Amino acid sequence: MSETKKEFGESGEELACKFLEKKGYEIIKRNWHFSHGEIDIIAKDKDVLVFVEVKTRRSLEYGMPEYAITKSKQKQIKKIAEAYLYINEITNQDCRIDVMAILMLDKNTPQINHIENAF
């Protein structure tokens, strides 16, 4: 039985977390929900709080995974990140938004493109 879209997305997020941890990031939260959206990964890169959007694709039929993050999606991610800071009373904190674009043409060798400070 093949994996569902949700399971496929989760496997991409798991790969992204392992990739970030190898780079020295500390994973703080996964799948943080607010209103009608979520932040896939919230992590610390040294002194910077990083909100990470993960896009995983099986093929290039619809283009590279990072191209799926439209202007409206970027706006939504920014709003959710701001809500996280507000709810957790975080001020005077350097932050950025990264994108992890994962292409799994071959399940054994995923291509990971980590775009720091993506937007």
Q: Where are the domains of the chain?
A: 5-115
User: Domain 5-115, what architecture?
Assistant: 3-Layer(aba) Sandwich (3.40)
Q: Read off the DSSP letter of residue 3.
A: P
Please identify every stretch of the chain with a pLDDT value under 70, giving residue numbers as ranges.
Answer: 1-2
pLDDT of residue 2: 66
**Residues sharing a CB contact under 8 Å with residue 45, sequence separation 6 or more, in sequence order:** 23, 24, 25
* Bridge pairing between strands 95-103 and 48-57: parallel
Q: Read off the DSSP letter of residue 35.
A: T
pLDDT of residue 9: 85
Q: Read off the DSSP letter of residue 1.
A: -
- Whole-angstrom Cα distance, residue 84 to residue 21? 21
